[in-house]
Amino acid sequence: MGAAEASLTAGRAPKRARSSTVLGRLEADRAAMARAQADAARVAAGADAGDGSPAPATGAPGIVAPAGALVGAQVEAPRRRGRGAVSNAAGRFEPAARVRFDDGWQSLEDLPPFKTEVTEERARAVITRNQSPDIGFDRSINPYRGCEHGCVYCFARPTHAYHGLSAGLDFETKLFVKPDAPELLARELSHPGYQPRVIAMGTNTDPYQPIERQYQVTRRILEVLRDFGHPVAIVTKSALVARDIDILAPMAEKGLVKVAVSITTLDPHLSRLMEPRAASPQRRLGTLQRLSEAGIPAAVMTAPLIPALNDMELVRILDAAKAAGAREAGYVLLRLPLEVADLFREWLVTHFPDKARHVLALLQQMRGGKDYDSAYGSRMRGEGPYAWTLGRRFEIVARRLGLDGRGVKLSTAHFRHPKPIGEQLSLFD
């Protein structure tokens, strides 16, 4: 296999006749990878590393190697430098999984590092609707698919499977942009039956991720919302949002916008490991201050809170955010849907092997013994004594700092349909 890569059928692979030579090669590849997985499992369990030396203990067997995971999907550190995920397993809908292994030619060393690729997507609509009872909005806009910030915990990662891509490194390197989103938005807002309600941005992927500097789709969307007098709520980890203060400040005067800056930690080292291409914690605090000084209602989101990893920073984060001008605060417990559970486990064992078992045990305590429970009402907060304690701690600190208000209520009173140039006004305009 000249490229040091093999393809294994998975799921509902199409049945087709294959020669005995191909079958024999596939069986040999499977056997080789089974041996590699067995070696990795022994290392994960604390057994010998194959050279007679004991491997470091990282917790109970099963924590390191998730069920169904392929060792060959993991990527060497130099190739993923500056990225969040440590693997790039095939999407869950794919009939075949491609894994890398050393075939004796040392060709793994020749594989290039992951680079960001952007594909333009022509969408038919830009406003996404939802009816989730535990989410405070019913519509949102996502100008980008995938996110270069690379947050390993991002619950949006599994959506890349719909493009035939991995929720791992593909999610943060193979991005999609909707360059015509502003025009589509204007068309949707102009529909005679449209009823304005707050549009959320940044609820799936960050609207101010690095490629926004080039494409400026988010800025052009804000210009459309400003012209229509439409309210918008933004969540971001980027300092780039301050670039658009010239648009946001006049909107804020009319009660049309509020911005929440997500701060997960004040530790720059942890931040760089967990969300490698997002703004540093200090820059996010500085962004909160700039927004506040410009009269834009600013909030802090301590999301996600991860037990035994960053939850002990909750009080410090809220204190710092209040000093920077935040008016309100919120939090969300770590969510691990679908592929995110395996990606987070791999990341946790890679960077914090001594904490992996404890972190995962606490998460499962708050999720009914599972990695994740998607039940409405509890998926954002969790259940059990630890989750209750975390919630009470947040409430007490937020109340003390005055961050527990009901939040700034945005207005729809300014919504209007701008008349195209040259169109005759009605008698009552």
Q: Which domains does the chain have, with CATH numbers?
A: 5-14+21-110 (no CATH), 117-401 (3.80.30.30)
| pTM for this predicted structure | 0.81
Q: For the residues 17-43, what does the mean pLDDT come to?
A: 45
The tens digit of pLDDT for each residue in 228-255 reads 999 999 999 999 999 999 999 999 999 9
Q: How far apart are CA 335 and CA 372, in angstroms?
A: 6
Q: How many CA atoms lie within 13 A of 118 on its CB side?
A: 14
Which of 104-108, 301-305, 374-378 has the largest mean confidence? 301-305
Beta bridge partners of 128: 140
Q: How far apart are CA 341 and CA 155, in angstroms?
A: 9
The C-alpha torsion from 318 through 323 and 328 to 329, rounded to 10°, is -20
Q: Which residue has the tokens 């959506």?
A: 159
The tens digit of pLDDT for each residue in 40-77 reads 444 344 433 333 333 333 333 344 444 444 545 788 88
Residue 102 pLDDT level (bands cut at 50, 70, 90): low
Q: How far apart are CA 364 and CA 307, in angstroms?
A: 10
Q: For the residues 152-173, what does the mean pLDDT come to?
A: 95
354 DSSP 8-state letter: T
The tens digit of pLDDT for each residue in 243-298 reads 999 999 999 999 999 999 999 999 999 999 999 999 999 999 999 999 999 999 99
The tens digit of pLDDT for each residue in 33-46 reads 444 444 444 434 44
Q: For the residues 89-94, what does the mean pLDDT come to?
A: 90
The tens digit of pLDDT for each residue in 118-157 reads 999 999 999 999 988 888 889 999 999 999 999 999 999 9
Alpha helix (H) residue ranges in 46-174: 169-173
